[in-house]
Amino acid sequence: GRGDEGRGGSGGAASLVRAYVSARGVLFGVVSAGVFFALGAAMHGMYGREFVDETYLYHLVRVDPRHNFSFYFYPAYLNMHGDGVGEPGRDVLSAGFSLAGLAVQAAVADRMMRRHAVKDLGMAFLAQSVAFVAFNKVSTAQYFVWYLCWFCVRIERASKKVDGRWVLAWPAALGFWLFWAYLLEFRGLQVHLFLWIAGIIWFWVNIELLRKLIS
């Protein structure tokens, strides 16, 4: 009964630890952390607190009101340009919104890695990259390279999981978003709401592709 469940839970946890922890992995982590903190300390010595703020802390609370593929852009735009700008607590609300988005993104990316890393590391990286970009607070075209390179590595397996209709849905959703972005950026039309809806469609297509990849 409960004892078996407890042992099962412990065994699952032990398997997860064994999957992630190895002598080579620990060595890699120690060396990577050492290089990271050594370079960080050197840059902090040269530039002071500005280096920490601009390199790390800025990304924790970053909110980009400029149009981009992320569905977060329109709420950020309204927060910075709508009624009540400059009111007390507005910056706190913006920072909280940003941190909440970061938490969701990190949780989903972690789930993708823990679910697939043991069976297929390449597919785990592909799924994690798609999830990370889809849930990112800011998403522009260069971010697609992060997962397109993994599609090349796992193209045979991915092609078995994703049918042609969804392969066509990706550029179709992209083109739909670009149409509204063109009207906003080059024609000066106030189509922020329609662009946001296109961003939600874009997000949905990416999540459906991700769901098929990990099924």
pLDDT score for 148: 85
- pLDDT of 81 reads 64
pTM of the model: 0.70
Burial class (CB in 10 A: 0-12, 13-18, 19+), 177: buried
CB 183 within 8 A of CB 155: no
Q: What is the pLDDT of residue 83?
A: 54
Which pLDDT score, from 0 to 100, does residue 127 have?
A: 85
Instruction: Tell me the mean pLDDT per 10 residues along the chain, length 215.
Output: 48 64 86 95 94 82 72 80 53 67 81 75 84 85 87 77 82 95 93 93 90 80
Which distant-in-sequence residues (6+ apart) come within 8 Å of 56 by Cβ?
A: none
- At residue 5, the pLDDT reads 44
